[in-house]
């Protein structure tokens, strides 16, 4: 037995068996070379937060809260894409449906403790934008959330909602406190930039308290970007 054969661990749980040409006059001999597998190959890439995806289907015989269903939770990049690729694009949903992506533990409703004093940056889309912009705006919003794109202010973000509506679809990023001016201004700037909303298009931030108690069709803006 050569000294080389002595250092080979056999059987090796994870190795590649290969034929190595030895001296020409001898036949090829099988040896086992330990394969070094990088952790990158089998460890999923963790996200900073765990997220929950919710679905809302408008059934008028039920209350608003009863129409809201949790689809699934994830906390890795791979599981995010697995879920994203498994569900319908927003533009294929029936009118009246919503998706919401919120941090685990925060319900996608005004009543949650982390939303009660909060508000939302609202992007309203024209009917034509369902075809051209809706799905890519929503995906970019999701990537901003799971990728923690809001620098020091990502903690202020609670989640995002997409409303598919005949009158015009909406995408909103919800934050936790409408008094946190610095956080809200920064988040609004990032959303506008990442979605590629032209500078001349103004987006508004409204408190949930105002939205929940509005009387007309519009809610006054607390901030604009
Ligand atoms: P919506 O689904 O956010 O917008 O709110 P839509 O359908 O475009 O309607 P519009 O009023 O903005 O033109 C529709 C209705 O759903 C609200 O008026 C509430 O009755 C209910 N609703 C929406 N949200 C986000 C909540 C919530 O967080 N809590 C409760 N209790 N009801 C809500």
Residue 100 CA to residue 70 CA, distance in Å, equals 9
Helices 135-146, 181-195: inter-axial angle, 10-degree rounding:
130
Quick check: 12 pLDDT over 90? Answer: no
Comparing CA positions, the residue from 60, 89, 54, 91 lying closest to residue 74 is 54
pLDDT at 13: 43
> Does the beta carbon of 90 sit less than 6 angstroms from any atom of ligand 1?
no
Write down the residue that tokens 């202010």 correspond to.
153
Quick check: 69 pLDDT over 90? Answer: yes
> Does the beta carbon of 96 sit less than 6 angstroms from any atom of ligand 1?
no
Quick check: 45 pLDDT over 50? Answer: yes
Quick check: 18 pLDDT over 90? Answer: no
Residue 10 CA to residue 31 CA, distance in Å, equals 9
pLDDT at 39: 81
**What average pLDDT does range 154-174 have in this prediction?**
98
CB 186 within 8 A of CB 147: no
Higher pLDDT, 53 or 20: 53
**What average pLDDT does range 179-207 have in this prediction?**
98
Average pLDDT, the chain: 90
**What average pLDDT does range 166-170 have in this prediction?**
98
pLDDT at 21: 53
CB 115 within 8 A of CB 106: yes
Backbone angles phi, psi at 130, to 5 degrees: -60, -40
pLDDT at 27: 60
> Does the beta carbon of 165 sit less than 6 angstroms from any atom of ligand 1?
yes
> Does the beta carbon of 93 sit less than 6 angstroms from any atom of ligand 1?
no
**What average pLDDT does range 199-222 have in this prediction?**
93
CB 191 within 8 A of CB 154: no
Quick check: 8 pLDDT over 70? Answer: no
Backbone angles phi, psi at 159, to 5 degrees: 170, -165
Write down the residue that tokens 């569900």 correspond to.
87
Q: State the pTM of this model.
A: 0.86
Predicted confidence band of residue 37 (pLDDT cuts 50, 70, 90): confident
Residue 150 CA to residue 80 CA, distance in Å, equals 19
DSSP assignment, residue 24? T
């Amino acid at each position: 037995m050569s000294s080389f054969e002595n250092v080979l661990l056999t059987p090796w749980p994870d190795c590649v068996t290969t034929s190595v040409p030895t001296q020409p006059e001898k036949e090829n001999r099988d040896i086992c070379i330990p394969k070094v597998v990088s952790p990158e190959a089998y460890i999923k890439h963790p996200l900073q937060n765990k997220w929950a995806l919710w679905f809302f289907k408008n059934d008028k015989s039920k209350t608003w809260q009863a129409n809201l269903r949790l689809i699934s939770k994830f906390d890795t990049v791979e599981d995010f894409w697995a879920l994203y690729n498994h569900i319908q694009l927003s533009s294929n949903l029936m009118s009246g449906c919503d998706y919401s992506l919120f941090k685990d533990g925060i319900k996608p409703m005004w009543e949650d403790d982390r939303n009660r004093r909060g508000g939302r940056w609202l992007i309203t889309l024209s009917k034509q934008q369902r075809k051209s912009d809706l799905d890519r705006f929503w995906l970019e919003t999701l990537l901003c959330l799971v990728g923690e794109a809001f620098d020091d202010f990502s903690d202020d973000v609670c989640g995002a909602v997409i409303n598919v509506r005949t009158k015009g679809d909406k995408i909103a990023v919800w934050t936790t406190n409408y008094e946190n001016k610095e956080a809200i201004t920064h988040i609004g700037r990032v959303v506008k930039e990442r979605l590629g909303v032209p500078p001349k298009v103004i987006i508004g931030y409204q408190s949930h308290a105002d939205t929940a108690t509005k009387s007309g069709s519009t809610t006054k803006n607390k901030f604009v970007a």
